[in-house]
Amino acid sequence: MNTKLKISKISKIYPGCIANNNVSLNFESGKIYALLGENGAGKSTLVKILSGVINPDKGQIFLNDKLLKLTSPKDAKNNNIGMVFQHFNLFETLSVFENLSIDSEKNNYQLRILINNILKKYNFKIDLDVPILNLSAGQKQKVEIVRCLIRNPKVLIMDEPTSVLTEQETEDLFLSLKKFSKEGILIIYITHKLKEVLSLCDEVAVMRKGKVVSISRTVDEELSSLANKMIGESLNKIKKMTSNNLSGEQILSVSRLNFNSEDPYEVNLVDINFTLNKGECLGIAGISGNGQNELFQILSGETLSNNGSIKFRSKEISKLNPRERREYLMAFSPEDRISQAAVPSLKIYENVALNNFKTSNFFEKGLFNEKKIKDHSKKILSNFSVNTDNVNLKSQFLSGGNLQKLILGRELITSPELLICFNPTWGLDVGAINYIHQTLVKINEQGKSIILISTDNDELLQLSDRISVINKGKLSKIMSAEEVNPEKLGLLMGGGLVD
Amino acid sequence: MIKIERRDETSNLIYFLTPVLAIFLTLVAGAIIFYLLGFKPSEALKFFFITPISDLYGLSELLVKATPLCLIAIGLSFCFKSNNWNIGAEGQLTFGGIVGGGVALLFYNHEGFYVLPLIILAGAIGGMIFAMIPAILKIYFNTNEILVSLMLVYVSKLLLDYLVVGPWSNPEGFNFPETRQFSDSARLPILFDGLRIHAGIFIALVSVFLAWVVLFKTYLGFQIKVSGLSLKTAKYAGFKGKTMILLVFMVSGACAGLAGVGEITGPIGQLHRMISPEYGFTAIIVAFLGRLNPIGIVFASLIVALTYLGAETAQIFLQVPKYTGQVFQGMILFFLLASDFLLFFRIKFLRFKKYEY
If pLDDT is split at 50, 70 and 90, which confidence band does A233 have?
Answer: low
pLDDT in tens, B207-266: 999 999 999 999 999 999 999 899 889 999 999 888 999 999 999 999 999 999 999 999
Tell me how long chain A is: 499
- Hey, is the C-beta of B229 within 8 angstroms of any chain A C-beta? yes
Task: Establish if A432 belongs to a structural domain.
Answer: yes
Contact A367 B217 (CB under 8 A): yes
In the predicted model, what is the mean pLDDT of residues A400-413?
91
B344 touches chain A (CB under 8 A): no
Q: What is the mean pLDDT of residues B189-200?
A: 91
Work out the pLDDT band at A351, boundaries 50, 70, 90: very high
Asked if the model's pLDDT at residue A149 lies above 50, the reply is yes
Same domain, A349 and A445: yes
Judge whether A498 lies within some domain.
no
A111-134 pLDDT, tens per residue?
999 999 999 988 888 899 999 888
How many Å separate Cα B344 from the centre of its chain? 25
Spell out which residues of chain B touch residue A350, defining contact as CB-CB under 8 Å: 222
The minimum CA-CA distance between B128 and chain A, rounded to whole Å, is 23
Chain A, chain B: beta-carbon pairs less than 8 Å apart = 71
Residue B288 has pLDDT above 90, yes or no: yes
The answer for residues whose C-beta is within 8 angstroms of residue B172's C-beta and 6 or more apart is B180
Out of A318-327, A484-493, B126-135, give the one with best mean pLDDT: B126-135
The pLDDT confidence band at residue B180, using thresholds 50, 70 and 90, is very high
Same domain, A223 and A255: no
Nearest to A302 among B219, B229, B235 (CB): B235
A227 and A321 share a domain?
no
A11 assigned to some structural domain: yes
| Beta bridge pairs of residue A189 | A34, A158
A276 in the same domain as A144:
no
A247/chain B closest Cα distance in angstroms: 31
Kindly tell me the sign of the dihedral angle through the C-alpha atoms of B63, B64, B66, B67.
Answer: positive
Q: Is residue A499 part of a domain?
A: no
Band of pLDDT at residue B111, cut at 50, 70 and 90: confident
What is the three-class DSSP state of A402?
Answer: helix
Judgement on whether residues A267 and A299 belong to the same structural domain of the protein: yes
Give the closest residue to B207 by CA, choosing from B258, B269, B141.
B258
| Domain boundary pick from A182, A201, A231 | A231
- Touching check for B110 and chain A: CB below 8 Å? no
Cβ neighbours for B313, distance < 8 A, ≥ 6 positions apart: B47, B48, B51, B52
Burial state string for A232-246 with b = 16 or more CB within 10 A and e = fewer than 16: beebeeeebebebee
Residue A138 or A429, more confident: A138
Task: For residues A256 and A130, state if they share a domain.
Answer: no
Segment B166-195 mean pLDDT? 91
Chain A contact present for B349, CB below 8 A: no
Give the chain B residue whose CA is nearest to the CA of A341: B233
Using a CB-CB distance cutoff of 8 angstroms, which residues of chain A are in contact with residue B357?
Answer: 59-60, 67, 69
Contact A322 B229 (CB under 8 A): no
Over chain A, what is the mean pLDDT? 86
Q: Are residues A181 and A206 in the same domain?
A: yes
Classify residue A32: in a domain, yes or no.
yes
3-state helix, strand, coil in chain B (%, to 5): 70, 5, 25
pLDDT at A246: 59
- Give the mean pLDDT of B192-216: 94
Q: What is the mean pLDDT of residues B185-211?
A: 94
Is B223:B234 a contact under the CB 8 Å cutoff?
yes
Please give the pLDDT value at position B356: 42
* Domain map (residue ranges) of chain B: 2-349
What is the Cβ-side half-sphere exposure of residue A353, based on CA atoms within 13 angstroms? 30
Note whether B238 contacts A323, CB cutoff 8 Å.
yes
Q: Can you say whether residue A427 is alpha, beta or left, with left for phi > 0 and alpha for psi between -120 and 50 degrees? A: left
Answer yes or no: is A180 within a domain.
yes
H or E element, residue A274: strand A269-277
Over chain B, what is the mean pLDDT? Answer: 91
Q: Do A71 and B238 make contact, defined as CB atoms within 8 angstroms?
A: no
- B232 touching chain A per CB within 8 A: yes
Q: Give yes or no: residues A185 and A260 share one domain.
A: no
Q: How many distinct structural domains can be found in chain A?
A: 2
Q: Which of residues 403-432 of A touch B (CB under 8 A)?
A: none
Max mean pLDDT range (A338-342, A385-389, B133-137): B133-137
Any idea what the CATH number is for the domain that residue A387 is in? 3.40.50.300
Query: Given this structure, which CATH class describes domain B2-349?
Result: mainly alpha
Judged by average pLDDT, the poorest of A13-27, A72-86, A232-246 is A232-246
**A170 and A302 co-located in one domain:** no
Give yes or no for residue A355 having a pLDDT over 70.
yes
Please name the residues between 160 and 219 in chain B that touch chain A, using a CB distance below 8 Å. 216-219
Q: Which residues contact A495 (CB under 8 A, 6 or more apart)?
A: A193, A194, A195, A471, A472
Q: Given A181, A206, A231, which residue is the final one in a domain?
A: A231
Both A83 and A38 in one domain: the answer is: yes
| Minimal-distance CA residue of chain B relative to A335 | B236
Enumerate the residues of chain A whose CB falls inside 8 A of the CB of residue B216.
368
Q: Is A446 exposed, middle or buried (0-12, 13-18, 19+ CB in 10 A)?
A: exposed
- Chain A nearest-CA distance from B244, in A, is 14
- Read off φ and ψ for residue B187, nearest 5 degrees: -105, 140
Closest A-chain CA to B10: A345
Taking the Cβ of residue A55 and every Cβ of chain B, the question of whether any pair is shorter than 8 Å is answered with: yes
Q: Residues 12-51, chain B: which have Cβ within 8 Å of A?
A: none
Residue A177 predicted with pLDDT over 80: yes
Asked whether the beta carbons of residue B230 and residue A339 sit closer than 8 angstroms, the reply is yes
Cα–Cα nearest to A462, from A278, A281, A227:
A281
Closest CA of chain A from B216, distance in Å: 8
Residue A458 falls within a domain, yes or no?
yes
Q: How far is A368 from chain B (nearest CA, A)?
A: 5
Helix (H, G, I), strand (E, B) or coil at A397: helix
Q: Which of the two residues, B130 and A365, has the higher pLDDT score?
A: B130
Question: Where residue B352 falls among pLDDT bands split at 50, 70, 90?
Answer: low
Stretch B333-352: mean pLDDT, rounded? 79
Q: At what angle do helices B89-106 and B279-289 cross, to 10 degrees?
A: 130
A302 touching B, CB under 8 A? yes
> Quick one: CA torsion of A81, A86, A90, A92, rounded to 10 degrees?
170
Domain housing A481: 237-493
- The Cα–Cα gap between B201 and A259 comes to 54
Quick one: pLDDT band at residue A156, thresholds 50, 70, 90?
very high
- Chain A contact for B230 (CB, 8 A cutoff): yes
Percent of chain A with pLDDT over 70: 95
Residues A307 and A351 reside in one and the same domain: yes
pLDDT band at B357 (very low <50, low <70, confident <90, very high): very low
Contact present, A360 and A414 (Cβ < 8 Å):
yes
pLDDT at A237: 41
Supply the Cα-derived Rg of chain A in whole angstroms. Answer: 25
pLDDT for the residue A236: 42
A346 vs B contacts (CB less than 8 Å): 225-226, 229
Judgement on whether residues A305 and A420 belong to the same structural domain of the protein? yes
